[in-house]
C-alpha cells in the first residue's frame, strides 16, 4: 500500500464527461488549424493524459513538444514559484503553437509559460486548459479554450497528482481528507 491508501476519493468529473469534452476540444482545434502544421506543447507532468487524448482528436499535422515545469512541490496550494524541469526540444519560431495545460489555478504557471513561449516568437500561440478555477486566479490569465470551469477545490486524476499519486485515474476526483 502506498501513502495515498488512506485518502477518500469522490468522482468530480466522470470519464465519460471528460472523453466527450476532450473530443469536442480536439474537433474545435482541428477546425481552427485544418491544413496547417502545429506544434502542440504538453506541459509536464500534469497534462500528459489530457494531451495524449486531445492530440488524437486533432486531424492536422502535429509536432509534439514537451515543457516540464513544477510549481506545487507536493503540496495542495500553489507556491507561486515555477521551476523549469525540461525545456522544449526544438525552436518554435514562426510556428503555430498550442500550449496544453492541465489546470489553471492561480494563473501564475500559465502566465509564465505564455511569456516563455512568446519570447521564442511563434507565429501564433493558442492556449488550452482542461480545467480552470476562476475563483483561485491571482493574476489575470486569458485562455483561448477551457474544458471545465470548477470551484476552488483540489482535484486529482487524469494526469493530476497528489504527492505523485493518482495521475492514472481515468476520471477527475476530489480528495476528501488529507492526513
Ligand atoms: P497555478 O500556477 O495556476 O496556480 O497552478 C498550475 C499548476 O498547479 C497546475 O499545472 C497543476 O500542476 C497544479 N495544480 C493547480 N490546481 C491543482 C489541483 O486542484 N490539483 C492538482 N493535482 N494540481 C493542481
What is the average per-residue pLDDT within 19-37? 97
Cell readout for 179 is 492526513
46 lines ligand 1 (CB under 6 A): yes
Considering the domain 15-152, what is its CATH architecture?
A: 3-Layer(aba) Sandwich (3.40)
pLDDT band at 1 (very low <50, low <70, confident <90, very high): very low
| Catalytic entry in 102, 105, 144, 161 | 105
The residue whose CB lies within 8 Å of the most ligand 1 atoms, and thus the one to mutate among 49, 51, 102, 165, is 102
47 lines ligand 1 (CB under 6 A): no
Chain position carrying cell 497534462? 47
Determine what percent of the chain is predicted with pLDDT higher than 90. Answer: 83
pLDDT tens, position by position, 93-145 = 999 999 999 999 999 999 999 999 999 999 999 999 999 999 999 999 999 99
Where in the chain are the domains?
A: 15-152
Cell readout for 160 is 493530476
For ligand 1, the distance from its centroid to the CA atom of residue 132, given in whole angstroms, is 9
Amino acid at each position: 500500500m502506498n501513502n495515498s491508501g488512506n485518502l477518500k476519493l469522490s468522482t468530480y468529473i466522470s470519464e465519460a464527461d471528460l472523453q466527450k469534452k476532450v473530443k469536442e476540444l480536439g474537433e474545435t482545434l482541428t477546425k481552427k488549424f485544418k491544413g496547417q502544421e502545429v506544434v502542440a506543447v504538453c506541459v509536464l507532468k500534469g497534462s500528459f493524459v489530457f494531451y495524449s487524448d486531445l492530440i488524437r482528436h486533432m486531424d492536422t499535422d502535429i509536432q509534439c513538444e514537451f515543457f516540464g515545469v513544477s510549481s506545487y512541490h507536493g503540496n495542495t496550494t500553489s507556491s507561486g514559484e515555477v521551476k523549469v524541469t525540461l525545456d522544449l526540444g526544438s525552436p518554435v519560431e514562426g510556428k503555430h503553437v498550442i500550449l496544453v495545460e492541465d489546470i489553471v489555478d492561480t494563473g501564475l504557471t500559465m502566465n509564465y509559460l505564455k511569456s516563455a513561449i512568446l519570447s521564442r516568437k511563434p507565429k501564433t500561440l493558442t492556449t488550452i486548459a482542461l480545467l480552470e478555477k476562476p475563483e483561485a486566479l491571482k493574476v489575470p490569465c486569458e485562455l483561448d479554450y477551457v474544458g471545465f470551469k470548477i470551484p476552488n477545490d483540489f482535484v486529482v486524476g487524469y494526469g493530476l497528482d497528489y504527492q505523485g499519486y493518482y495521475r492514472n485515474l481515468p476520471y477527475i476526483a476530489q480528495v476528501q481528507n488529507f492526513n
